[in-house]
Amino acid sequence: MQKLFIIKIGGNVVDNEEALISFLTDFSAIKDNKILIHGGGKIATKIGDQLGIKSTYIDGRRITDESTKDLVTMVYGGLINKQIVAKLQLLGCNAIGLTGADGNAIKAIKRPVNAIDYGFVGDISAGDVNISLISSLLNQNICPVFAPLTYANGSILNTNADTIASVLAIAMSSNFETRLIFCFEKKGVLKDVTNDNSVITKIDRTIYQNLLGSGALADGILPKLENAFAAINDGVNDVLIGHANDLILNTTDTTVGTLITQ
């Protein structure tokens, strides 16, 4: 099977013009099949403030009301996505910007209203991914760039970028040998959170159980690792958690971030 890298960047890259150009330059140098998923960043909040659209939260969870839905459609699906695509074209990478609605790429289910109504939020699973469309684009040497938006019933929906990356990786692993890469603000999972150079370079299930037992892992990293193992369970070859600056090395066999394997 051909290799495929599915790479997620968040606000720390998207919000920083210099970091973004540096990342996109490295990204466009990857010769294997690749898909980019970008998060939202602070620009949506800033533009929302200017438009008088207030972020509402219930129990600490963001609610996507109709105004917020239009805001993220504009900012994620328009401003950020198209700026990235235009920059990648300049760098020689034939990118195509997509939301889940485009080409029916990722169809969602609007999150059911139980105790909380999250509003226009889309829940997705690997079965919702249009594998044939995405494979067809990759086979034409076109690189999909996903905004964190899906759709259902004629409406755009807000969906977490990490979730889209995981679900895409699981779905595409039926056709490709897939590595899922989460770019975050550290070089990898740290043994000692106060020491940026204490990256744990490899975690498999046995090591994970030992780390859990010894209490060495910071609480914040546990959901990321749980998600990584879930993705691997569902067919993803491996998952890499690392810094955007180390992208090129982290797409080789000599990774410097945290490589999570079966």
Tokens, residue 115: 């105790």
3 or 87: CB nearest its own copies = 87
- Please give the DSSP secondary-structure letter assigned to residue 60: T
Amino acid at 194: T
**14, 121, 129, 149: which one contacts its own copies (CB under 8 A)?**
149
Neighbours of 137 (CB within 10 A): 19
Amino acid at 218: A
Query: Which range binds its own copies by CB under 8 A, 32-40, 101-109, 205-213, 244-252?
Result: 101-109
Nearest distance from residue 23's CB to its own copies, in Å? 14
SS3 of residue 134 by DSSP: helix
Binding to its own copies by residue 52, rule CB under 8 A? yes
Query: Which range binds its own copies by CB under 8 A, 54-62, 145-153, 170-178, 207-215?
Result: 145-153
Give the number of residues in contact with its own copies, rule: CB under 8 A: 42
151-210 binders of its own copies (CB under 8 A): 151, 153-156
Binding to its own copies by residue 124, rule CB under 8 A? no
Q: How do the residues of the chain divide into helix, strand and coil, expressed in percent and rounded to 5?
A: 40, 25, 35
Query: Which range binds its own copies by CB under 8 A, 47-55, 176-184, 216-224, 234-242?
Result: 47-55
75 or 172: CB nearest its own copies = 75
Q: What does residue 173 show for φ and ψ, rounded to 5 degrees? A: -70, -10
With a CB cutoff of 8 Å and minimum separation 6, the contacts of 72 are 40, 44, 64, 148, 149, 156, 158
The per-residue DSSP string of 217-232 comes to S-GGGHHHHHHHHHHH
Nearest distance from residue 144's CB to its own copies, in Å? 10
With a CB cutoff of 8 Å and minimum separation 6, the contacts of 29 are 248
Binding to its own copies by residue 33, rule CB under 8 A? no
Tokens, residue 79: 């401003």
61-100 binders of its own copies (CB under 8 A): 70, 73-79, 81-83, 85-87, 89-91, 94-99
Nearest distance from residue 92's CB to its own copies, in Å? 10
Is the CB of residue 130 less than 8 Å from the CB of residue 101? no
Q: Point out which residues bind its own copies (CB under 8 A).
A: 47, 50-52, 70, 73-79, 81-83, 85-87, 89-91, 94-99, 101-104, 133, 136-137, 140, 142, 149, 151, 153-156
